[in-house]
């Protein structure tokens, strides 16, 4: 379950998305393993970049920053801007120092206007890769680790493997389409000589040991919230299964692969091979939180029941975006990680209850009565 022994070797990296869920957790682990990190972040809500990065780092672990303070350099910038909004002096420094880029920054909202989301998820990726090209030409740079999503599969029916990308799929959201376009862009930059590995996580939830998360926008949490509202007597999803990965498991897998792999330009599906049935998640959540459990039915059956306009609106931005006809294949990634003693945790009742307790502690969910 641990990290590669090679993590003990100091490495200098550049990290985007350092205040997001995946980026902030990667930052914590990188610092804990004595890496020097140049963390890119934006000024937001009257908070400068450094304050935002420090706040999220303290959220995960208050002990890391004091111990590794000198290893963290926060750069105020923006992936949507030319040269990431950084000065020539800073770019020249990065070209000399960084060995690897972890590109986590992205808009993850499902339905931004396509042209707007492309500016971040596609053109922003281009700007990061242009920096990588400059670093590569200096001779010290090794590779880019790009965080994508398993849902570049779109509406594909059947198995979607690590080696798949363009399988004739259409997309349910502009987010999916923009991440697909970013992967197509990466193929072009691979031809320029860059080593770019792609990681495609599915539903990402909080830390396995504590249930903590920095945000509840992800589909898993929104699903819990919808159930907790008690506005459905019937609910579509009888045929649905969820691929779930804990943020700590995901980041450890990414770093193990990053530090151990000698095979360039690979795609990885960093999650376990077991899926979680909707019905099981609903049963446990209903019992723990005490909400009235809706009856799970197929999507076809649900639409025949004549749901209200409000119910349709809610589901159009959540469950109706799920593709129940795809099987996400992750065996190649799991087999590779086994070589280094790493195995993904199986999402089960214990972990679900940890997540639910954390949701309660933050008042994201409410409890009707105590049953556990």
**Rounded to the nearest 5 degrees, what angle is found at the Cα of 140, between the Cα atoms of 21 and 15?**
10
* pTM attached to this predicted model: 0.94
Percent of the chain predicted with pLDDT > 70: 96
d(CA 42, CA 298): 43
* pLDDT tens per residue across span 135-151: 999 878 999 999 999 99
Tens of pLDDT, residue by residue over 342-353, are 999 999 999 999
8 A C-beta contact, residue 292 and residue 230: yes
What's the rounded Cα separation, in Å, for the pair 65 and 68?
5
At 244 the three-state DSSP class reads strand
How far apart (Å, rounded) are the C-alpha atoms in residues 268 and 199? Answer: 5
Tens of pLDDT along 252-261? 999 999 999 8
The pLDDT score that the predictor gives to residue 46 is 85
CA 125 centroid distance within chain: 15
Contacts of 93 (CB under 8 A, 6+ apart): none
**Under 8 Å between Cβ of 275 and 220:** no
Distances (CA, A) of 15 to 62, 76, 273, 361: 20, 12, 28, 30
Q: Give the whole-number percent of the chain exceeding pLDDT 90.
A: 81
User: Phi and psi (nearest 5°) for 152?
Assistant: -65, -10
Q: How confident is the model at residue 65 (pLDDT cuts 50, 70, 90)?
A: confident
Question: What is the DSSP secondary-structure string of 139-194?
Answer: T---EEEEE--GGGGTT--EEE-TT---SS---SSHHHHHHHHHHHHHHHHHTTT-
The H-or-E segment that residue 248 falls in is: helix 247-260
The angle formed by the CA atoms of residues 216, 221 and 225, to the nearest 5 degrees, is 105
4-8, 70-74, 77-81, 347-351: least confidently modelled range: 4-8
Contacts of 198 (CB under 8 A, 6+ apart): 146, 148, 183, 186, 266, 267, 268
Phi, psi of 194 (to 5 degrees): -75, 145
Q: Where are the beta strands (DSSP E) in 206-318?
A: 234-236, 241-242, 244-246, 267-268, 276-277, 295-297
Per-residue confidence band for 120, with pLDDT thresholds at 50, 70 and 90: very high
Q: Report the pLDDT averaged over residues 183-197.
A: 96
The alpha carbon of residue 354 and the mean position of all alpha carbons in its chain are separated, in whole angstroms, by 19
Q: Which residues contact 204 (CB under 8 A, 6 or more apart)?
A: 21, 22, 218, 244, 245, 246, 247, 250
């Amino acid at each position: 379950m641990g990290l590669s022994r090679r993590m003990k070797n100091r490495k200098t990296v550049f990290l985007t998305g350092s205040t997001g869920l995946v980026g902030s957790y990667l930052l914590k682990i990188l610092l804990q393993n004595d890496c020097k990190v140049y963390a890119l972040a934006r000024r937001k809500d009257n908070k400068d970049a450094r304050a935002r990065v420090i706040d999220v780092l303290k959220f995960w672990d208050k002990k890391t920053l004091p111990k590794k303070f000198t290893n963290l350099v926060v750069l105020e910038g923006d992936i949507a801007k030319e040269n990431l909004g950084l000065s020539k002096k800073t770019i020249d420094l990065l070209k000399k120092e960084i060995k690897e880029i972890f590109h986590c920054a992205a808009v993850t909202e499902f339905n931004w206007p396509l042209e707007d989301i492309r500016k971040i998820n596609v053109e922003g990726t281009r700007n990061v890769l242009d920096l990588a090209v400059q670093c590569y030409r200096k001779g010290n740079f090794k590779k880019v680790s790009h965080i994508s999503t398993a849902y570049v599969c779109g509406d594909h029916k059947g198995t979607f493997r690590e080696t798949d990308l363009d399988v004739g799929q259409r997309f349910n959201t502009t987010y999916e389409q923009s991440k697909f376009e970013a992967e197509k862009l990466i193929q072009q930059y691979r031809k320029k000589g860059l080593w770019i590995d792609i990681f495609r996580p599915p539903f990402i939830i909080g830390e396995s040991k504590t249930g903590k998360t920095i945000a509840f926008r992800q589909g898993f949490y929104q699903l819990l919230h919808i159930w907790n509202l008690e506005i459905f007597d019937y609910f579509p999803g009888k045929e649905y299964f969820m691929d779930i990965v804990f943020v700590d498991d995901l980041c450890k897998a990414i770093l193990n692969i990053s530090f151990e792999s000698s095979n360039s330009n690979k795609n990885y599906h960093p999650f376990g091979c077991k899926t979680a049935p909707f019905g099981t998640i609903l049963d446990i959540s209903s019992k723990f939180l005490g909400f009235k459990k809706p009856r799970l039915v197929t999507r076809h059956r649900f639409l025949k029941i004549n749901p209200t306009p409000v119910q349709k609106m809610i589901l159009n931005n959540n469950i109706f975006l799920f593709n129940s006809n795809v099987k996400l294949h992750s065996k190649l990634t799991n087999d590779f990680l086994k070589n280094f003693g790493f195995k993904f945790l199986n999402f089960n009742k214990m972990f679900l209850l940890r997540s639910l307790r954390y949701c309660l502690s933050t008042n994201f969910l409410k409890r009707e009565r105590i049953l556990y």
